[in-house]
Structure 1
Amino acid sequence: MNDDNSVVTGSGGSPALTMQILEGHGIGGSPVVKAAVGQRITLDIALQNTAIYDFYVHSCYAHDGSNSPDASINIIDSNGCGVRLSRAIDVPAMSAQPTPNGPKHVYLHMYGFQFTSNNFVHFECQVKPCIKSCHREQCIREPDTKIPVIPAHRRRRHEDNSTDVATLRLETVLEISPQSTLSAAALVSSEDYARTASCYSQPALIATCTFVFITTALLVLMVHVVYRRCSKSKKAGSINDSDSVDTSSIS
């Protein structure tokens, strides 16, 4: 093992790093091998024990498996920073280590996406292990002047020009299924319902109900008053008629 630059270059054992796709946004989700277009997912690179090793992640790509430049996108650049892509990749690339010597995670929030050439999306990352500490942040805020190259070319260039065998290449594959029409319609319906329900606040509903109640009560009262007046008029008319009859009979 060589300690130069705090980078593991020997064969005395490599850190047990893993890379997987998790359900939802965050490192608390369950691993998934299949997701729908637009579904929230997280790319998670983890080291369960950091008592000896540290690591950072750089040069991550997503591609369709053919290594074609037309079906390959950069998601974490050579500085370790996330590369934003609308409706696919959120930034920044985040790092979490809740306890000393405990698990460390470098993760990226994404949404399910696919290439037109394949239903499977291949994710590939370069991971640099270090002894104790890498003495750097996950993302270095410097201009990334390196021209992104497709994974196959990058691997060949790395093998030809670098003697640093400590950098690990991690891969994982995710199957992407189109979002079903039924699910999409149900989602829209629920959102519309929630939006409509939110338009009616509790004070507004109380005021509306009070207004309706008062209006109804006034209408009932008016009908009752009119009815009583009509009844009195009829009684007065009948009394006058009877008086006329009595007067005529006397005369």
Structure 2
Amino acid sequence: MKDFDKYIKDELNKSVEDSSPSDYLKNKIDLEINSQGEKGEFKMKKRFVLVAAAALVLSVGVFATGKITGTISSSTSFYNYTNYTDMAKAEKKAGFDAYAPESLGDYKFDGIRMVNLEDLDDTGAKLNKRKAIDIDYKNDADDKVMLSIDKRPDNSKTVDEQFYHEMRDIKGVPVYYSRLESVVLPDEKDATKEELERSKKDPFFNLAIGSDKREEDASKHLIFDYKGIQYALMAGDNMDVNEFYKMAEEIIK
């Protein structure tokens, strides 16, 4: 998990191109990678050369004004709120009610960041300006899980329309799991032919530019809609999948 944390801390403002996984997953990974230092805006292009991440479904969709091709996101390196009781303040600022437990398994609440989100269509227009909530949880080993909460725009794709590895039903709520591999390079010319090809064809492979040296890592994601709100969990690659699903169970009541 140490390498995963370093990966999160060291990468700033990575650029992206041709994507396949949901833009939300891409967005959230970008947000997490950029969690050190104040983050300005970054744009995700069509080829994610990221999550999330991811919003909260920020997947490619067709709108009257154009095709959504990415997301612009910004937040600070520091927590906006450091007490669990501040969740009510975050909800008020975001403009929606959500549920985030004080702990997820062995991971305890660590802090909250407010996130500014806008979708970007193929004409360059910005749509769906809104605020989302990111919550970090940490265990005793300082491993991190991030929970991202957003009120998904009505005109974006639903979770089941996106790429995922598997789905499990939890109390009647479909929860979608994905594992994303990432390679971050100083320049696109540093990518191998195989990596360039894979970045075009594999929805679970992220090739990004923005590191002073080659970085390779993987992350795991869960995303689901619950009571009109979209939740996304992100963890390092050593997270046990069954344990991960149990975290979603703690949110779905």
Please give the TM-score of this superposition, normalised by the length of structure 1: 0.25
Question: Higher strand fraction: Structure 1 or Structure 2?
Answer: 2
Larger radius of gyration: 1
Please give the TM-score of this superposition, normalised by the length of structure 2: 0.25
